[in-house]
Structure 1
């Protein structure tokens, strides 16, 4: 890796001090293999996918806690079939001390499976705090959402932030991943201008195959023009290699200004595997 100026090195150190990770219910073995390189107390988000059930999500959250990390179970609002399903999920997690922190998001289904059409409706239900939740992460979309217009996204973000404050719930914002630092930092500045001052965790794709990264980017509406891909360090005409986020992180460290962007941290999406991502982060921290 090439050297970077002193100021970005200091900023990189700050940004990497309290990063978070993401895992699915199928990643328990990968988590065990990675425990030696993940700092104690690291927050690990546990997904709420359509092909996972409560037992799988519970097993993953248990494994996170047993490893000395902080489980952050996801709640996919539109996948919930009833208030009873949400209560059962929270009761089960809370009984084992796994529900102090959650991440709530609208989710993939175009039509809600039950009474919750978005994350705001879950927050306003009152069920989170009554089941011991104290910290709620919400989603942010620096490059927009493929199915939700900006004129809906902005008030939704402000409303969720306000609802958390009213309910005395701490929280942060976890963004979708991206390859280009500029729209991310511009979006964060706009968030602050709107009076939303929660910490923001910038979504970063861990090292993965370029073809896989392109597939996820297309799914989530992330920009992948030739110029953006070149800035990130790969070519969209050659999809056989792998890419890590080192260029993205260095650019972020150079252009991040706390007085403008507020408290910013990193959230790694483990498309290339939890263990591989954790090891990459450990190696990157040592060399930077």
Structure 2
């Protein structure tokens, strides 16, 4: 590995994005991150959009670069969308991450991320930067052809893509290559779980339907619970490193799903960056 490649991998780790949940105590935990760190705040039907934006405002006051998630299925109509975007602007936030959201029934006409992106175009208002989700493997509830089509269409409105959790590095690399072959050139942040509790990781993996990833893990290690006990994000990092520094892949860096285990995830990232410093070029 060249010195330039090592330095690029270190930058990705030291400048990783951290995704957090808008729960009690999260602001205090985020204070352990350096000022200016990009922190994305999730949105859920249980907490609602207000909890996301309230948390985003508090994290902004802590000096973070904050990216709130906007869940399409929680937005009632164009007027509501305009109000949300106005609040984002008033908070001094320049970036949002657009998702469909997990609400069983949409609050209005916005049923998915694409419809919300189109809604922004209709009202002529959008933040400086927009992010969208990409799916390296089959979605739990959406056919493959539909996720591919949706990604391609959403990409027209977005500035970058964050990959959904996937434990198989080969699947991630193949997914990026297939997007590039289809002409989707947006930079990609590789989404990976941080250093989190194994039982929590197992519950989340089952909930979001990571079928192929779970099968990959069984194949590699035998029993899922045992495998997850040994999971660290460096498994994915090590095998993806060649892609991360290959300009043809246009990888922007890491997006770490912390599930609010922020300190442990940050410690892992720094230790991994330090380890790279020690590897001979």
Q: Give the deviation of 1:25 after TM superposition.
A: 1.4
Query: 2:186 is matched with which residue: 173, 190, 198?
Result: 198
C-alpha displacement at 1:44, in angstroms?
1.1
Deviation, 1:256, is: 4.1
> Given that residues 49 and 70 in structure 2 are in contact (C-alpha distance below 8 angstroms), is that contact kept between their aligned partners in structure 1?
no
1:22-60 Cα distance to aligned partner (Å, 9 max, x none) = 112115x33433434x24322211111112144422221
* Contact kept? 1:30, 1:273, Cα under 8 Å: no
How far apart are the structure 2 equivalents of 1:180 and 1:63? 35
- Cα distance, 1:265 vs. partner? 1.3
Q: How is 1:137-176 mapped onto 2 (pairs within 5 angstroms)?
A: 137-162=131-156, 164=157, 171-176=159-164
| Secondary structure, aligned partner of 1:261 | coil
Aligned counterpart in structure 2 of residue 24 of structure 1, from 21, 25, 41: 21
SS in 1 for 2:253: strand
Farther off after superposition, 173-182 or 13-22: 13-22
Partner Cα distance (2:270, 2:123) in 1: 35
The alpha-carbon deviation at position 259 of structure 1 amounts to 3.7
Q: Deviations over 1:87-146 (max 9, x none)?
A: 222222221212x10011112234422110111111111369855511100110001211
What RMSD over aligned residues (CA atoms) do the two structures have, in Å? 2.7
Deviations 1:247-280 (A, max 9, x none): 2111111454524312331100013622322232
Separation (CA, whole Å) in 1 of partners of 2:256 and 2:274: 17
Alpha-carbon offset, residue 173 of structure 1: 0.2
Matches within 5 A, 1:213-224: 213-222=201-210, 223-224=212-213
* Alignment CA distance shift 1:229-1:285 (3 Å): farther
Match of 2:279 in 1: none
Contact 1:23 1:44 in 2 (8 A): yes
Question: What is the deviation of 1:217?
Answer: 1.3
| Cα separation, partners in 2 of 1:230 and 1:109, compared to 1, 3 Å | same
Deviates more, 1:216-225 or 1:136-145: 216-225
Between the aligned partners of 2:123 and 2:209, the Cα distance in structure 1 is 33
Pairwise mapping of residues 23-62 of structure 1 onto structure 2 (< 5 A)?
23-26=20-23, 29-36=25-32, 38-62=33-57
Structure 2 Cα separation of the partners of residues 10 and 235 of structure 1:
36
SS of the equivalent of 1:104 reads: strand
Q: Kindly tell me: are residues 234 and 67 of structure 1, through their superposed partners in 2, closer, same or farther at Cα, counting changes over 3 Å?
A: farther
* Preserved contact between residue 94 and residue 131 of structure 1 (Cα < 8 Å): no
For 2:69, which of 66, 74, 88 is the aligned residue? Answer: 74
Give the distance between the partners of 1:263 and 1:19, measured in 2 at CA.
12
Q: Which residue of 1 aligns with 2:89?
A: 94
Aligned equivalent of 1:283, options 258, 271, 277: 271
Q: State how far apart, in whole Å, the 1-side matches of 2:29 and 2:208 are.
A: 29
For the residues of structure 1 that align with 2:251 and 2:199, how far apart are their CA atoms?
A: 32
Q: How many residues align?
A: 274
Task: Give yes or no for contact 1:208–1:242 (8 Å, CA) kept in 2.
Answer: no
The question of 1:246 aligning with 2:234 is answered yes
Taking the aligned partners of 2:206 and 2:80, their CA distance within structure 1 comes to 31
Question: For residues 182 and 242 of structure 1, do their structure 2 counterparts lie closer, same or farther at Cα, with a shift above 3 Å needed?
Answer: closer
Change (3 A) 1:11 1:110: same
Q: TM-score scaled by structure 2?
A: 0.86
Query: TM-score scaled to structure 1, two decimals?
Result: 0.84
Residue of structure 2 in register with 1:167 after alignment: none
